[in-house]
C-alpha cells in the first residue's frame, strides 16, 4: 500500500492551484465541450491544449462567455520543442481575476495559425514578433512585416537550431 | 460660391513625416512615420527593433545566476523590479523560502526604484511639454536615490543585488537613518513638482483631454500599470495578486478618470506618494535575521514551467520560464509592459496634432530597451 502511494506521488505533476484556478478547472470542461481539448495543470495555472485549427473559436468563446470572461491577453509566445512549435497564450480576466494558459502545437515546417488579433488587439505585435523569430505565420493578421528584425533577415533566430553567425574580429 | 472656390484652391496634400529613430522626444531609438494632413495626423506607422539584442535567446545559454544580470539590462529605470521578478520565477519553481529580512529589503528597494523611475518620468514629461525646471528638480532628487542605491548595492544602475534566494548582502548600518532622511527630502521634492507642474495653466492646456484612452481600449490592448489605471481600471498586481510581502502594507491604488495625458501623469505622481508610504511602513517593520537562503551556484530547478507576474514602474512584467531540469532554462519569455503600452500609439495618435504626438508618447512612459529586448 505504502509503495503504491509512493509511486502515485512520483508521477503526480506539480500542482499548486489556488481556489480560483480550481474553480476554473472544474468549470472549463462544460464550457469548451464542443471542442477537442485536454485540460491539464502546470504548477499554479490551468492549461488547455487545443487543436491549432480551433484556436480562434476557442479564444472567442473564452472571451465572450460570462463565466470565463478572458478579456486581457497577458502574453503570447512560441516555444520551440524541436519536433513541434508550441504557441502559448496566457490570458487573464480583469473582472474575475483568474488566469488560463492555452496551448497549441504546430509543425515546424510550415507553421500557420489563425490570428487572434480580432479577439484581443494586443496580440498584434506579439504575433509579428513570433513571425519574426520563429516563422509562425498568422492568417488574417493585418500586417506581418518584420518588427524586431530588419527587412530581409534570413532564418528564424528564436528557434533552437538557428546557428549564430560566427563573430570575427577584424 | 466664393467660399467653395477658396476651398478648392486650399486643398491640402498628405505629407509623410519621419520622426526618429534619433529624436530627443522618442526617449530612445523609436521611429514613427506620420502621415499628416496639415497639422493633423491621419496615419501612423511605428517602427521598433533598433535595440533588439535577443535577451530571451541569450537566457537559454546562461546559467540561472547569470540571467539576473540580463534582466537588469532590459529596463534601465527599473532594474531592481526586473531582477526581482526573475528571481521570484526561479524561487517559485524551486519552492524556496526567502528570509523575512530579505523580503523587506527587496520591497523597500523596489519601491525606491519605482519612485526614481516615476520622478524621472515627471521630469522628462515636463520637458516634453516645454517645462524645463521640473526636470532639473527631479534629476536632483533622483540622484539622491541613485547614491542610496550605490551605498546599498554597489552600483548606480546595474545592481545585480537581488539574488535567487534573497539579496546579495545586508544593508549598511546607517540604512534606516539614511532612508528616513531621504524620504523627507523626496516628499519635499515631490510637493515642489506638484506645485510647479500639476495645475499649471499651460501644462493643463497641453495635457488635458489629449490622447484619451478608454478603459475598453486599454484592456483590449493589454495595457498595464499606471497607463491602465489612468483609464479608471483599478488593477495592480501588488493588490490583486499580492506577491512577496505586499499584503502586509496599507496602500492605495490611484486611478484616473478619463485616461488622458494628464491622468497618466497624475496617477504616477500619486503613486510616488503611495510608494513612499509603503517604504515607511516597511522600514518600521524591518526585522532582523538572515538575508539569503543559501543555494547552489549551479542551480537545477525541477522540470516544469512557471509564469510569474510583478508590478514594474511601467506596468505588469511577467516571466514565463520553462525548466528542463538542467542548469540552464529551456525558454525564458518576458512580458514587457512597455511593449504592450506602446502598441496603443497608433490608435492614440490618429486624429491628433503633430505637437501632441510627443506629449502622448511621453505620457506612456516607455523604455525602448524593454520594448525591443
Question: What is the predicted ipTM?
Answer: 0.85
Query: Distance (Å, rounded) from C-alpha B75 to C-alpha B373?
Result: 9
What's the pLDDT score for residue B6? 67
Tell me the pLDDT tens digit for each residue of B259-318.
Answer: 889 999 999 999 999 999 999 999 898 888 888 888 888 888 888 888 999 988 988 999
Minimum-distance CB partner of B333 among A75, A94, A149? A75
Residue of A72, A81, A96, A133 to mutate, interface with B, max B Cβ within 10 Å: A72
Q: To which residue does cell 523604455 refer?
A: B367
Chain B residues with CB under 8 Å of A80 CB are: 331
What's the pLDDT score for residue A7? 46
Query: Distance (Å, rounded) from C-alpha B236 to C-alpha B77?
Result: 19
A11-110, what's its fold?
Beta Polymerase; domain 2 (3.30.460)
B52-372 to CATH, choices 3.20.20.80, 2.130.10.10, 1.10.645.10, 3.90.930.60: 1.10.645.10
Residue of B307, B324, B344 to mutate, interface with A, max A Cβ within 10 Å: B307
Q: Which three cell numbers stand for residue A18?
A: 489556488
- Residue window 136-165, chain A: list those with CB within 8 Å of chain B: 146-150, 157-158, 160
**How close B145 comes to chain A (CA, Å)?**
32
Least-confidence region, from A27-31, B82-86, B224-228, B359-363: A27-31
Tell me the pLDDT tens digit for each residue of B171-215.
Answer: 888 888 999 999 999 999 888 888 888 888 888 888 888 888 898
Task: Give A28 or B341, the one with higher predicted confidence.
Answer: B341
What's the pLDDT score for residue B182? 92
List b or e across B261-295, with b for residues whose CB sees 16 or more CB atoms inside 10 angstroms. Answer: bbbbbbbbbbbbbbbbbbbbbbeeebeeeebbbeb
Tell me the pLDDT tens digit for each residue of B60-94.
Answer: 888 888 899 988 888 888 889 999 999 999 988 88
Minimum-distance CB partner of B335 among A13, A75, A79? A75
Tell me the pLDDT tens digit for each residue of B26-61.
Answer: 677 888 898 988 888 888 988 888 888 888 888 888
Contact with chain A for residue B322, Cβ under 8 A:
yes
- Residue window 56-85, chain B: list those with CB within 8 Å of chain A: 56-57, 60
Local structure of residue A142 (DSSP, 8 states): S
**How close A111 comes to chain B (CA, Å)?**
19
Domain ranges of chain B: 52-372
Within 10 angstroms of residue B88's Cβ, the number of other Cβ atoms is 22
B372/A45 CB distance under 8 A: no
Nearest to A70, CA basis, from A53, A89, A44: A89
pLDDT band, residue B9 (cuts 50/70/90): low
How long, in residues, is chain B? 373
Contact with chain B for residue A84, Cβ under 8 A:
no
Per-residue pLDDT of chain A (170 residues; tens, 9 = 90+): 444 454 444 445 567 778 788 888 888 778 877 878 888 888 888 888 888 888 888 888 888 888 888 889 988 989 888 888 889 999 998 888 888 899 898 888 888 888 888 888 888 899 988 888 888 888 888 888 888 888 888 888 888 888 877 777 76
Amino acid at each position: 500500500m505504502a509503495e503504491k502511494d509512493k509511486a502515485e506521488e512520483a508521477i503526480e505533476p506539480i500542482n499548486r492551484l489556488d481556489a480560483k484556478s480550481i474553480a476554473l478547472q472544474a468549470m472549463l470542461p462544460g464550457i469548451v465541450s464542443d471542442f477537442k481539448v485536454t485540460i491539464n495543470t502546470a504548477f499554479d495555472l490551468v492549461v488547455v491544449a487545443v487543436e491549432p485549427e480551433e484556436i480562434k473559436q476557442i479564444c472567442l468563446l473564452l472571451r465572450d462567455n460570462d463565466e470565463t470572461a478572458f478579456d486581457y491577453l497577458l502574453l503570447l509566445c512560441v516555444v520551440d520543442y524541436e519536433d513541434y512549435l508550441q504557441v502559448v497564450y496566457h490570458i487573464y480576466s480583469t473582472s474575475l481575476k483568474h488566469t488560463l494558459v492555452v496551448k497549441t502545437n504546430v509543425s515546424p515546417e510550415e507553421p500557420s495559425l489563425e490570428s487572434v488579433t480580432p479577439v484581443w488587439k494586443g496580440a498584434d505585435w506579439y504575433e509579428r514578433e513570433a513571425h519574426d523569430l520563429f516563422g509562425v505565420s498568422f492568417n488574417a493578421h493585418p500586417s506581418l512585416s518584420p518588427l524586431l528584425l530588419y527587412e530581409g533577415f534570413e532564418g528564424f533566430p528564436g528557434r533552437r537550431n538557428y546557428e549564430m553567425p560566427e563573430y570575427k574580429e577584424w | 460660391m466664393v467660399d467653395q472656390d477658396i476651398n478648392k484652391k486650399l486643398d491640402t496634400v498628405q505629407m509623410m513625416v519621419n520622426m526618429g529613430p534619433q529624436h530627443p522626444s522618442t526617449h530612445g531609438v523609436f521611429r514613427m512615420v506620420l502621415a499628416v494632413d496639415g497639422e493633423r495626423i491621419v496615419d501612423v506607422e511605428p517602427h521598433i527593433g533598433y535595440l533588439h539584442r535577443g535577451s530571451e535567446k541569450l537566457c537559454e545559454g546562461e546559467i540561472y545566476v547569470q540571467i539576473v544580470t540580463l534582466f537588469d539590462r532590459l529596463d534601465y529605470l527599473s532594474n531592481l523590479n526586473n531582477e526581482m521578478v526573475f528571481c521570484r520565477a526561479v524561487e517559485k519553481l524551486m519552492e524556496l523560502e526567502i528570509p523575512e529580512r530579505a523580503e523587506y529589503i527587496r520591497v523597500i528597494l523596489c519601491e525606491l526604484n519605482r519612485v526614481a523611475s516615476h520622478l524621472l518620468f515627471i521630469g522628462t514629461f515636463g520637458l516634453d511639454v516645454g517645462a524645463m525646471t521640473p526636470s532639473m528638480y527631479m534629476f536632483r532628487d533622483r540622484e539622491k536615490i541613485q547614491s542610496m542605491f550605490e551605498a546599498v548595492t554597489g552600483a548606480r544602475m546595474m545592481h545585480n543585488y537581488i539574488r535567487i534566494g534573497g539579496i546579495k548582502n545586508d544593508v549598511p548600518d546607517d540604512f534606516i537613518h539614511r532612508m528616513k532622511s531621504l524620504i523627507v527630502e523626496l516628499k519635499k521634492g515631490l510637493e515642489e513638482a506638484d506645485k510647479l507642474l500639476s495645475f499649471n495653466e499651460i501644462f493643463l492646456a497641453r495635457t488635458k483631454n489629449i490622447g484619451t484612452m478608454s478603459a475598453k481600449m486599454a484592456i483590449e490592448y493589454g495595457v498595464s500599470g499606471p497607463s491602465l489605471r489612468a483609464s479608471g481600471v483599478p488593477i495592480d498586481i501588488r493588490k490583486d495578486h499580492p506577491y512577496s510581502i505586499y499584503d502586509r502594507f496599507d496602500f492605495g491604488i490611484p486611478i484616473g478618470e478619463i485616461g488622458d495625458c494628464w491622468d497618466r501623469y497624475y496617477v504616477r505622481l500619486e503613486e510616488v506618494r503611495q510608494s513612499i508610504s509603503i517604504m515607511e511602513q516597511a522600514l518600521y517593520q524591518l526585522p532582523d535575521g538572515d538575508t539569503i537562503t543559501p543555494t547552489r551556484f549551479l542551480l537545477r530547478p525541477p522540470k516544469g514551467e512557471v509564469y510569474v507576474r510583478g508590478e514594474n514602474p511601467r506596468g505588469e512584467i511577467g516571466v514565463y520560464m520553462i525548466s528542463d531540469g538542467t542548469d540552464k532554462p529551456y525558454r525564458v519569455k518576458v512580458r514587457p509592459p512597455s511593449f504592450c503600452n506602446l502598441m496603443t500609439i497608433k490608435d492614440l495618435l490618429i486624429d491628433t496634432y503633430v505637437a501632441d504626438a510627443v506629449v502622448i508618447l511621453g505620457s506612456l512612459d516607455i523604455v525602448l530597451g524593454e520594448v525591443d529586448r
